Copies of this chain bind each other. A is one copy, B any other.
Amino acid sequence: MVGAKIKNMEEFAAVSGISRPTVSKYFNDPESVRASTRERIEQALKTYDYRPNIYAMNQNRKLTKNIGIVVPYLADPVFAELARSLEQRCLDAGYRPTLYSSHGVQSHENDILDSLRSLKPTGVLLAALGRASDKRVIEKFCADVPTVLFDSNVEDLGLAFVGSDNPQFSNLIVDYLCRTGEPPSFFEMKSPPNPNANKRRMGYIAGMEKMGFTPQIIQAEGEGWGIEEIGLREGYKALEQGAFATNTVLCSNDRLAIGFLSACYERNLRVGRGADASIRVAGQDDHPFSRFTCPALTTIAQDYESISRETMQRLFQLIEGESQERTATFLEGKLVMRESA
């Protein structure tokens, strides 16, 4: 990092002894120039601290190497984990990821897509709000920008979806719970913010019927992303009213389960599968904190790695123009047995 300050690519080309167009070619794809040329440029890069002006670069280019990652709620550790994983993959592939959170609000989601549009991104990875999304806005956006929807499959919008096989989740855990004790009741939000909830309810019903049991669904009042709070408040009410037909409760997701466990604690119910326990509780997602609830939460683990891998893979296919028909990828979850059920 010695040498005079380099102002632009012209000057940098001069000091590295290479012509500017070739240097430009290098920055767009280092592999596209001869090894010996690459060597000389990278040598110069070490002594003269130069970086192309990102704004000038993107002004003319069609492909900006930007990738937008949008999640509905970043304070939800499930999305934080997905976002982290996707971000890393973008960086590894040589792209510039930018992270956005809709914070559960439709107008924010719309604003993000709007602002994303002017960034001319190569592609966008979008976990939409779901029920609260403005479908027309998303549809219009998908038509303009190569977009892979992940986690929440909004009315089959866009050219690709990657997410969990939610019916399988519920099916799997219903099977486990029935085989190891009483059949579960299903505890969910009446108006869940995330569309996966509906698939899980269907999976629960199908699973119960397959096992020859009658499904029982308890719905919690309350709106929004304060899910633990709803699980606690409404779970407490349900317990108070003796609403659950059996001693086993399957929650629609781990955050609801975390709230429900609090409710059990406050009502002095011992949760677990031991003889001394009076109720079994299970969740779905394998939320990063599920391991640390009291007792540790039995759940179905989302395959975060596969979701992120498949999401990126589909995006690259879209970018490269392959396979223009709509695809939907559903990844299976694995049972994580812990103490709560």
Residues of A within 8 A of B (CB): 51, 53-59, 74-75, 77, 80-81, 83-84, 87-88, 96, 98-101, 103, 115, 118-120, 228-229, 232, 258-259, 261-262, 265, 288-289, 291-296
Contacts and interface: CB of A to CB of B under 8 A. Distances in A.
Contact of A288 (B75, B84, B88, B261): B75
A56 B59 contact: yes
Contacts of A58: 55
Given A55-B58, A119-B54, A294-B261, A289 B74 contact: no
B80 A262 contact: no
A96 B55 CA distance: 15
Contact of A294 (B53, B74, B265): B265
Of A58, A74, A295, which is in contact with the most chain B CB atoms at under 10 Å from its CB? A74
Contact of A96 (B77, B101, B115): B115
A289 B118 contact: no
B228 A289 contact: yes
Nearest to A117: B51
A68 to B, nearest CB: 11
A104 B290 CA distance: 21
